[in-house]
Amino acid sequence: MKFSVNWLREFVDLPENPEEIADLLTRAGVETQNIETRGAKIDKVIVSQITASSRHPNADRLTVCEVDDGSGTKRQIVCGATNYKVGDKIPLALPGAKLPNGTEIRKNKLRGVESDGMLCSAIELGLGSDAAGLLILSPEAKIGAPIGDLFPADTILDVEITPNRGDLLSHFGLAREIAALTEKKLKSTARESKIPVKKTGVTIASTHECPFFSARKIDNVTVGPSPQWLRAKIESVGTRSINNIVDISNFIMLELGQPTHAFDANKLKGGINVRLARDGEQFLALDGKTYSLKSDSCVVADQERAVGIGGVMGGEETAVTDSTKNILLEAAYFLPASIRRTARELGLPSDASYRFERGVDPEMVLRASQRATELIQEIAGGTPAKEITVAGKLPANPADVSFRYEKCDRVIGIAIKPKTVDEVLTRFGLKKISAAEITKWKIPSYRRDLQRDVDLIEEVVRAYGAERIPGTDRSRFTPSSAADRAHNLESQMRERLVAAGLNEVRTSKLLPGERFAFGEKAIELRNPLSEDHVALRPSLLPGLLGVLDHNIRAGAERVAIFETGRVFEPPSGAEQKRVAILLWGNVGGEVHWRNEKRRVDFFDLKGAIELTRTGLSFRRDQHDKFALAVKITADNQRVGLAGQLTNSLASTIDASGGVFVAEVSLDFPIGGLGSHATFRELGKFPAISRDIAMIVAEDLTHERIWEVIWHPTEPLLERVEFFDLFAGTEIGEGKKSLAYRLTYRDRSRTLTSEEVNAVHAKIRERLRSDLGAELRE
Amino acid sequence: MTHPLEQLRDDALREIEAASDEQALEAARVKYLGKSGSISAWGEQMKTLTKEEKPVIGKLLNEVRNAVTAAIDTRNAQFRLQKESGALARIDISLPGTPHEIGALHPLTQMWERSIEIFRRMGFALADGPDIEDEWHCFDALNTPPEHPARNEQDTFYLPDGRLLRTHTSTVQIRTMQAAPPPIRVIAPGAAYRRDELDATHSPQFHQIEGLYVDENVSVADLKGALEFFMLELFGSETEVQFRPHFFPFTEPSLEVYVKSKALKGGERWIEVAGSGVVHPAVFEQVNKARGDKAYDPEKWSGYAFGLGMDRLAMILFDIPDIRLFAQNDLRFLRQFA
C-alpha cells in the first residue's frame, strides 16, 4: 500500500529523512519497497484556465488554446491533448520552467504557430503516473497561483503489509505502528463516536458472513468535484478522484482503514437487508460488469434486489451520481473468510475486500461512519439523520493472552528484562491485566493476529530488533538417514557420468501436452497455467528430447546428456527416481587432432548405463518408437529401457544419425552403513594368459559364449576379457570372429604350463562341442 | 713426479672425452684396455717389480683401470641417450594434450551439493518427501487455514483427484515429524511449484532446501547462528547477513534473511535469500494430532525452520540473469559451470 508521509505526519512525529522511516519499518517487518518523492516544487508552473480553443491550422492532432494565466494578458499555447474543455483549469509551465523530467520550456513555434509555454499532464510534473492527458485541476484553484500551492512536496512510501497486519492498511494504522516503534505519542486519533443508534430499518439475514451493519441517511447533499486538498490527498496514494462523496469514502478508508459505501438513497427500494445471494443472481457492479453470484456470497440488498456485494463492491444502479440528493452511508463488518471467498470466486478484488479479508478493526466501524458524515457535511453539505441505523453485533474483543517472561527468553535465546518486555507490549497497545508469574494481556481490538504467547514474543523481537540478538553456534550429532545414503549414491553416480563426459541437465517436471513422443499417459493438472506446463512427466525421456531439440537448433554437433530425477506414474502419481541418458552425434568433444572420429553407437550408451548401477542385464525388446529396443533388467525385474530411436521420431527434431536413449529406475534397495567393499588377497603367484579366437554363427551372442567359458567353473580361471570382434567376407557370410583372453592363476603356487594347457583345452573343447565354434590356432 | 701410469690415465681420459662417436670410443678402449692395450700391458710388467714396488704400483694400476672404465661407461651412456632422444627431438611438444572430456554438473545441482555439504558440516541429516502432496501436509498442518490466500487455484497446481503439487518443501517438516519424535535436525532439498507465469525471475517449478531443527530450547539466536554460518560459508566471510521480521503462517516469530556482499555482482544492496522462523506451536499441535501422541509438546520442545531458494541462490552466486536458463539446458550454458 502507498502511504503519504505528509498524511502520516498528521498523526505522529516522523524523522525528517524518509529513508529513516523506511529503514525503521523494514527492520520491524514492515518492508518499504519503494520511496518516491512527489510534489510540484517547480518554479514557473502555475494554475491557468483555458478560455478558448481552436484547431491548429497545420496539424490535425494539435489544438491552439487561449489561456488565462492571471496576468491580465492571454497566452497562446499549442497543445496535443484532448481531455479538456474550455473553462478547465490546467497547470501551465511558463517559458523558463524546468520540469522534473528535465524538459526545459521555451517559447517556440509548433508547426508554424507560436506557443508561449506548455500545458502539463500529471506525469510531466512528477505528480503521478497518469500520462493520458492534461492534469485537470479543481475549479477552485486560483488562477496564477504557483502549482506548488496545490501539490505540496511529499514522499510516498510503498509498503508491503503482510497478510496478518490488516491494521496497518491505513495512514492512521501505520502511524500508530510507527509511534509504538519510535516511542512517540499519537498526535490525534479518530474520535470516539457517541452517536445514538437505532435498530430498525436494517436487517441482517446472513449474520455469519456479516455480523454487523450500519447505515446513516444524509439528505440534501450536493454532489460535485472534491476540493483540491481532498483530491490531492487521495490521488497522492494512487486513488482516482470521482466526486466528493465517493472521494470522502475512499479518504476515510485510506485514513482509518474502514471501507464505507454511499448509496443513492432515492434509488433504494425499501429498507436494507443483508443476505446471501441467490444462486445465479445477476448483479451489475460499479465497474460496469455484470456478475453471476453464488449462494455463499453475502449481498447488501434492498427489498427488491441486491445493491452491493457485501464488502466487495457497490452496484451501478444505486451509485452516487451528480444528480444524487440523498445518500445512505454504509459502514459494516464482514467476515474475512467470506469476503476472501467471494472476491476470489468473482475474480473481483477491491480495496474494500482487501481490507475486510485481512480483518478491519470492529471499534473503527462507527467511528469511520461518523468521521465520513462530518466530512460530507463539511464538503457536500446535507443533513445527517440523528441516529445511525444498526443491525447485528460487532465481534467480541480478542481473547486475553497468557505470557511468561521465561518462555520469551527461551524462544528468543537471550534474557530480556521483564520491564523492557512490558514497555514494548504496552507501546503496541496491549494492557497487562495480571502480573502473576504467568502474566495476562488484554489485546487491542485491531490486533486480532495476537493470539498466543509466541505472537507477543514476535512483537518483542520486532521492537527489540532482530539485529540485537546474537547468533549462537548450536549443533547436534545426527546419524545419517536413508535419504543421506540415497543422495550419496546418486551423487556418486552423477560424478561417474560426468567423468565419462556426459553433461547433467535438469528439465521441468511439468510437460507440455504435445511432448509425449513415447505415447505415455501422464497425470494432467486440473488447472494448468500455460500450454508448456500441462502434465506431470511420466518419464525423463521427453525432457531429454526437448534438450536435444534445443541444442540442435542452437548449433550443437554432439549431445551427451543425462538427468536424474523424479517421474510420476499415472494414474496413482507414485513417484519414482530415475536416471536417463541421451547420446547423439560424434564420440568425444569438439574437433581435435587426437580424437577418435566416429558417431556414437549402442555400446557407448550401454557403457554409460553400466556406470549408473551394477547387476544390469540387457534383452531385446519391441517398441514402436525404437528402431533398436532393449529391455534392462536387474534381478529379473524390469528396471529400464534403452535403444535407438526410429528415424521418423529423430527427424521430428532434425537429429540426423542415431539418437540413443536409456532410462533406468534408481529405486532399488540401498544398503545400510555396513555395505561396502571388502579386501581380497592379491595374487602372489604369476598368472598365465591364453587367447582364444573363434569363428561362430553371426547370431550366436557374446553372452552365450561367456556362459560356456565360465560354466562349469574352472577353479584356475581367474579372468576373461573380450578383445576383438570381426565380421567380413574373409570369414564368410553369416559368420563372425571373436577373441577372448583367459587368465589363469592359483593363489597358493606357481602354475605349470601343462596344468594351464589342460584346463584351457577343456574350455576350448566346450566351445567347440556346445557352440560349434571353429577355433583358430 | 708423475708416474707413467698416471700419464697414461690422463691421456686415456682426454681421448675418451674427445671421442666423437661410439667407434672412436671403442678404438680408445682397445688402445688402453684391450688385450694389448697400453694400460693392460702394465699387468705383465707387474711381475718384474720389486716386492716393495708391487703393492704400490698394483693399487695405482687398479685405480687407473677403474677410472678409465668408468669414463668409457659414462661416455657410452651419453652416446646411447643422444641416440634415443634424437628420435624424439622432432616432437612438437606445444601440440595440445589428449583431451579427456569431462561433463558438467547442472549449476542447480552444484548449488545443492554445496549447500548440503555446509549443512552436513553443521550436523544436519537429509530428509525427503513427495512432490505430490495432500492439502493437509501442504497447508492445514502448516497452520494455513482453508480460506488462506495461498490456498487457491490461482496460486497452486491441483491434480484432478484433489491432491496438489507442494507449494514449498515445508511439507517435509511435517512428514519428518510424523515419522520420528524429537530431536530432529534435517534438511530437505527438493522441487516446489507455484502457479507463476514463467519470466526472468519466476518459474512454475522452483527448488528449495528446507531445514528443521527441533530440540529443547531452540531459539531465534540459534536460528540466526545457523543461517549466518551457512551464508558466510556459501558467499564468503565478507558477507553481511540481516534478519528482518516477517510473516509466515507456520513460524512465529518469522524472519526473512537478506545478504549483502562485495564479492557478489550487484551485492551492494540487500538481497532476500531465505524465509525462516521459530516453528509455530500450532504446527506441533497438528503433528501431535496426526501422530496420536504428545511427542511434540510445544512447552517442552521448540524448533526453527527455514527455506532457502536454490534457484535464487544459484543466480546470485553464479551471476545468472534469467531463471529460464536452468530448464533450457543449453550446453553452452551448462559447460560454463564445468
CATH of the domain at A77: 2.40.50.140
Residue of B nearest to A563 (CA): B106
Report the Cα A633 to chain-centroid distance in Å: 42
Please tell me the pTM assigned to this model.
Answer: 0.85
List, in order, residues 6 or more apart from B301 with CB less than 8 Å away: B182, B183, B214, B215, B216, B218, B284
- End-to-end CA separation in angstroms for chain B: 76
Q: Which of B153, B278, B327 is closest, CB to CB, to A506?
A: B327
Residue B287: its pLDDT value, please?
Answer: 97
List, in order, residues 6 or more apart from A254 with CB less than 8 Å away: A7, A170, A171, A233, A234, A237, A239
The answer on pLDDT for B191 being more than 90 is yes
Q: How many CA atoms lie within 13 A of A554 on its CB side?
A: 15
Percentage of residues of chain B with pLDDT beyond 70: 99
CA distance B168 to B138: 8
A428, A460, A492: which is the final residue of a domain?
A460
CA distance A116 to A96: 11
The answer on pLDDT for B181 being more than 90 is yes
Q: Which of B101, B147, B160 is closest, CB to CB, to A501?
A: B101
Choose the weakest-confidence range: A4-18, A505-519, B127-141, B191-205: A505-519
A125 pLDDT band, cuts 50/70/90, is confident
Smallest CA-to-CA distance from A330 within A357, A356, A291, A354 is with A356
B290 pLDDT band, cuts 50/70/90, is very high
Ranked by mean pLDDT, the top range of A74-78, A418-422, B3-7, B59-63 is: A418-422
Residue A191: its pLDDT value, please?
Answer: 62
The answer on pLDDT for A675 being more than 80 is no
Query: What is the mean pLDDT of the segment spanning A426-455?
Result: 93
The answer on pLDDT for A517 being more than 70 is no
The residue segments making up the domain with residue A721 are: 688-776
Name the B residues in 46-75 with CB < 8 Å from any A CB. Answer: none
Residue of B nearest to A549 (CA): B330
What is the distance in angstroms between the Cα of A291 and the nearest Cα belonging to chain B?
19
A175-213 residue pLDDT tens: 999 999 999 988 876 666 677 888 888 999 999 999 999
Average pLDDT, chain B: 92
The answer to whether A193 touches A367, Cβ cutoff 8 Å, is yes
CA distance A172 to A9: 10
Residue A82: its pLDDT value, please?
Answer: 83
Residue A312: its pLDDT value, please?
Answer: 93
User: What sign for the dihedral angle of Cα A161, A167, A170, A174?
Assistant: negative
Residue A586 resides in a domain: yes
CA distance A535 to A532: 9
CA distance A548 to A773: 43
Instruction: Look up residue B115 and give its three cell numbers.
Output: 549447500
Cell 543421506 belongs to A484
Residue A289: its pLDDT value, please?
Answer: 92
A285-329 residue pLDDT tens: 999 999 999 999 999 999 999 999 999 999 999 999 999 999 999
CA distance A386 to A570: 68
**Record: contact B185-A476, CB cut-off 8 A:** yes
The answer on pLDDT for A515 being more than 60 is no
CB proximity B232 to A under 8 Å:
no
Query: What is the mean pLDDT of the segment spanning A121-139?
Result: 78
Give B202's contacts in chain A (Cβ within 8 Å): none
Sheet order of strands, A118-119 included: A74-79, A63-68, A45-55, A89-93, A118-119
Report the Cα A321 to chain-centroid distance in Å: 40
Residue A64 resides in a domain: yes
The answer on pLDDT for B267 being more than 60 is yes
Give A486's contacts in chain B (Cβ within 8 Å): 128
**Record: contact B104-A498, CB cut-off 8 A:** yes
The answer to whether A195 touches A213, Cβ cutoff 8 Å, is no
Measure Cα distances from B137 to B141, B152, B169, B173 in Å.
5, 15, 10, 9
Residue A468 resides in a domain: no
CB proximity B118 to A under 8 Å:
no
Query: What is the mean pLDDT of the segment spanning B311-331?
Result: 94
CA distance A406 to A439: 11
3 state DSSP class of A341 = helix
Q: Please give the interface size between A and B, counted as residue pairs whose CB atoms are below 8 Å apart.
A: 241
Residue A671: its pLDDT value, please?
Answer: 55
Same domain for A142 and A170? no
Query: What is the mean pLDDT of the segment spanning A5-22?
Result: 91
Smallest CA-to-CA distance from B121 within B217, B277, B230 is with B230
Of A43 and A455, the structure prediction assigns the larger pLDDT to: A455
Of A85 and A709, the structure prediction assigns the larger pLDDT to: A709
What radius of gyration do chain B's Cα atoms show?
Answer: 41
The answer to whether A228 touches A337, Cβ cutoff 8 Å, is no
Q: What is the DSSP letter of A443?
A: P
Same domain for A168 and A103? no
A369 pLDDT band, cuts 50/70/90, is very high
Same domain for A146 and A159? no
Query: What is the mean pLDDT of the segment spanning A512-541?
Result: 83
Report the Cα A625 to chain-centroid distance in Å: 38
Query: What is the mean pLDDT of the segment spanning A255-261?
Result: 95
Same domain for A347 and A210? yes
Residue A588: its pLDDT value, please?
Answer: 72
- How many other C-beta atoms lie within 10 A of the C-beta of residue A326? 17
Give the DSSP per-residue string, A577-590.
Answer: EEEEEEEEEBSSSS
Same domain for A624 and A562? yes
CA distance A697 to A738: 11
Mutual angle of helices A18-27 and A171-182, in 10-degree steps: 80
**Record: contact B329-A479, CB cut-off 8 A:** no
Percentage of residues of chain A with pLDDT beyond 70: 96
- How many other C-beta atoms lie within 10 A of the C-beta of residue A666? 20
Residue A359 resides in a domain: yes
The answer to whether A328 touches A376, Cβ cutoff 8 Å, is no
Q: Beta strands A260-264 and A327-333: pairing type?
A: antiparallel
The answer on pLDDT for B153 being more than 90 is no
A478-508 residue pLDDT tens: 999 999 999 999 999 999 999 999 999 999 9
Residue A473 resides in a domain: no
Give B259's contacts in chain A (Cβ within 8 Å): none
Report the Cα B191 to chain-centroid distance in Å: 24
CATH of the domain at A384: 3.50.40.10
Residue A243: its pLDDT value, please?
Answer: 92
What radius of gyration do chain A's Cα atoms show?
Answer: 41
- How many other C-beta atoms lie within 10 A of the C-beta of residue A697? 12
Whether the bond into B253 is cis, omega within 30 of 0:
yes
Report the Cα A271 to chain-centroid distance in Å: 44
Residue A681 resides in a domain: no
Same domain for A217 and A308? yes
A8 pLDDT band, cuts 50/70/90, is very high
Residue A146: its pLDDT value, please?
Answer: 87
The answer on pLDDT for A674 being more than 80 is no
Residue A153: its pLDDT value, please?
Answer: 82
Give B330's contacts in chain A (Cβ within 8 Å): 550-551, 554
Q: Which of A458, A491, A588 is closest, CB to CB, to B245?
A: A458
CA distance B15 to A773: 67
CATH of the domain at A33: 3.30.56.10
Residue A188 resides in a domain: no
Residue A518: its pLDDT value, please?
Answer: 65
Cell 596344468 belongs to A755
Same domain for A209 and A279? yes
Residue B48: its pLDDT value, please?
Answer: 82
Q: How many CA atoms lie within 13 A of B238 on its CB side?
A: 7
CA distance A409 to A464: 12
CA distance A4 to A136: 21
Measure Cα distances from A290 to A272, A308, A354 in Å.
21, 12, 20
| Total count of domains within chain A | 6
Instruction: Look up residue B297 and give its three cell numbers.
Output: 509438546
A40 pLDDT band, cuts 50/70/90, is low
Quote ipTM for the complex.
0.87
Same domain for A258 and A332? yes
The answer to whether A771 touches A736, Cβ cutoff 8 Å, is no
Same domain for A258 and A338? yes
Give B326's contacts in chain A (Cβ within 8 Å): 506
Query: What is the mean pLDDT of the segment spanning B153-166?
Result: 91
Average pLDDT, chain A: 90
The answer to whether B142 touches A556, Cβ cutoff 8 Å, is no
The answer on pLDDT for A462 being more than 90 is yes
B170 pLDDT band, cuts 50/70/90, is very high
**Record: contact A592-B153, CB cut-off 8 A:** no
Q: What is the largest CA-CA distance in chain B?
A: 126
Residue B69: its pLDDT value, please?
Answer: 92
Residue A466 resides in a domain: no
Same domain for A505 and A609? yes
B220-257 residue pLDDT tens: 999 999 999 999 999 999 899 999 999 999 999 999 99
Q: Beta strands B184-193 and B205-215: pairing type?
A: antiparallel
Residue A133: its pLDDT value, please?
Answer: 83
Mutate which of B91, B147, B152 to disrupt the A interface (most A C-beta within 10 Å)?
B147
The answer to whether B148 touches B139, Cβ cutoff 8 Å, is yes
The answer on pLDDT for A70 being more than 90 is no
Cell 545457523 belongs to B226
Residue B190: its pLDDT value, please?
Answer: 96
- How many other C-beta atoms lie within 10 A of the C-beta of residue A317? 16
**Record: contact B105-A551, CB cut-off 8 A:** no
Residue A135: its pLDDT value, please?
Answer: 85
Give B221's contacts in chain A (Cβ within 8 Å): 412-414, 469-472
CB proximity B92 to A under 8 Å:
no
CA distance A245 to A252: 11
Same domain for A432 and A372? no
Give A593's contacts in chain B (Cβ within 8 Å): 95-96
**Record: contact A503-B104, CB cut-off 8 A:** yes
Choose the weakest-confidence range: A56-70, A514-528, A628-642, A690-704: A514-528
Give A595's contacts in chain B (Cβ within 8 Å): 99
CA distance A172 to A371: 13
Same domain for A244 and A107? no
Measure Cα distances from A457 to A444, A452, B220, B304, B323 in Å.
16, 9, 11, 15, 37
The answer to whether A215 touches A270, Cβ cutoff 8 Å, is no
**Record: contact A413-B220, CB cut-off 8 A:** yes
**Record: contact B101-A589, CB cut-off 8 A:** yes
